[in-house]
Structure 1
């Protein structure tokens, strides 16, 4: 075998090995679940329940909410700390962002792991919620959401204002467990 062919063969073998290692290191789940019960904050009446189910490289999020502003959108995010003790939920810290990305549109690849689609309420201030996202895991690892909090904001997330989408006060907060 010529030197050039041997170098090409070695390079292809190395590339294949790197691809295999990269695939094996990607976190995937097989049905692990977590949930959060959100309690009112900042003088609101908002509350809700959310479940997170890990499905391969995605997480399915389902929720139900009440006490929201009727016919409106509210920002919704996973926050870095599992602490909802402050009356305004600031104890939850900023958006969960293990890869130190800018705030942005969920699932765009250019967003915080904790950036979720807005909640849309009906005429009675109730909402059901479903989203399938990637970029985080249902575990306690570096990209895991267990032990963190999930927060509903008063206003819609605009998905562009830094660092948090200009979504206003935190009106409900719950620990993900």
Structure 2
């Protein structure tokens, strides 16, 4: 085989390997696992100064809910809940409906899935952290998308007879992608 023929074969092989590598690398971008994510901006209800942001990221063990909240009473406890309807227009956010509970009829649990956590404000009235909600998702029947997330004045343990199982709403936001 002549020198030119060997060089052409070698160049063609190198070009094919380069193109193949680029194509497969591009496929990796198409097929990589994109995380499901949503956010909610909490705005204060009438007479409240509480506000903040929440980020929802779906993980294998549930939805990680990261929160950064402020404007609460110093050293106080609050309930963080997801409600059925995504409505924060009413001044007291009572139109959020009942606490989100897609498995209520299948489960004998006293705690609905939308009752996320008790949040404790620090000495400055702020709270930052995260929780994992294993019983909700960002798609399907357990999806929290387009639902309201409310920060209530007191914990759900304090208000077992109230319609939402917690004190009055201090802030409300709708969960959106």
Name the TM tier (shorter chain): 0.7 to 0.9
| Alignment size in residue pairs | 143
Unpaired runs of at least 5, structure 1: 1-28
Find out whether 1:115 has 2:119 as its counterpart: no
In the other structure, the counterpart of 1:125 is 125
Q: Establish whether residue 39 from structure 1 lines up as the match of residue 43 from structure 2.
A: yes
Q: 2-side partners of 1:159 and 1:131: how far apart? A: 21
Partner-residue secondary structure (3-state), 1:173: strand
- Partner of 1:172, secondary structure, is strand
CA contact (8 A) 1:75 1:154 kept: yes
- Return 152-161 or 119-128, whichever deviates more: 152-161
Q: CA deviation at 1:159?
A: 7.7
Alignment-derived partner of residue 25 in structure 2: none
Contact 1:101 1:112 in 2 (8 A): no
8 Å Cα contact 2:46/2:91 also seen in 1: yes
Name the CA shift for 1:58/1:159 in 2 (closer, same or farther; >3 Å).
Answer: farther
Kept in 2, the 8 Å contact 1:42–1:170? The answer is no
In structure 2, how many angstroms separate the alpha carbons of the residues matched to 1:171 and 1:101?
29
1:49 corresponds to which of 46, 53, 65: 53
Q: 1:159 to 1:144 in 2, by over 3 A?
A: farther
Structure 2 residues not aligned, in runs of 5+:
1-32
Per-residue displacement from partner, 1:117-136 (whole Å, max 9, x unpaired)?
11110111011021012111
1:65 maps onto 2:69 in alignment = yes
Going by fraction, where is helix more abundant, 1 or 2? Answer: 2
Structure 1 CA distance, aligned partners of 2:155 and 2:75? 12
Moved over 6 A (4+): none
Q: Which residue of 2 aligns with 1:146?
A: 145
3-state secondary structure, aligned to 1:158: helix
Separation in 1, partners of 2:74, 2:143: 32
User: How far did 1:157 drift?
Assistant: 2.0
Alignment of 1:90 onto 2:94: yes
Contact 2:159 2:167 in 1 (8 A): no
CA distance in 1, matches of 2:81, 2:97: 11
Residue of 71, 77, 83 corresponding to 1:79? 83
